[in-house]
Amino acid sequence: MSQVKIMVVLFLCLYALNTQAKPQMGTPPDMFKLFDANADGKVTEEEYINAVMEQVKSTFSRMDLNGDGVVTRDENDEVARKMREMLERRMPSR
């Protein structure tokens, strides 16, 4: 899997698990509201890019555990561990 695809999946997982996101991601109408910044019923490329960049910045801030402006391998691994734990709790056992 390419690095871009991995980053997109990571972004989507982090965003979906973020309980503070408003509106909550989950259904297509909720996502549409998130992207439609001026609430005109249409999403422009600019609105889409701005919404995604806002979430990327928010995701980076959550990954930067000590707030120093960089994400170290240890911080990345800690966030990945927490994500795995959260997913395991939400997924039924097989």
pLDDT value at residue 32: 84
Query: Domain coordinates of the chain in residue numbers?
Result: 3-76
Q: Residue 20: pLDDT band by 50, 70, 90 thresholds?
A: very low
CA triplet 65, 55, 68: central angle to 5 degrees?
25
pLDDT tens figures, 29-38: 677 888 899 9
pLDDT tens figures, 37-79: 999 999 999 998 898 898 889 889 999 999 999 999 999 999 9
50-67 in b/e form (b: 16+ CB < 10 A) is: ebeeebeebbeebbbeee
> How far is residue 65 from each of residues 27, 34, 52, 59, 74, measured CA to CA in Å?
29, 26, 21, 11, 10
Is the predicted pLDDT of residue 24 greater than 50, yes or no? no
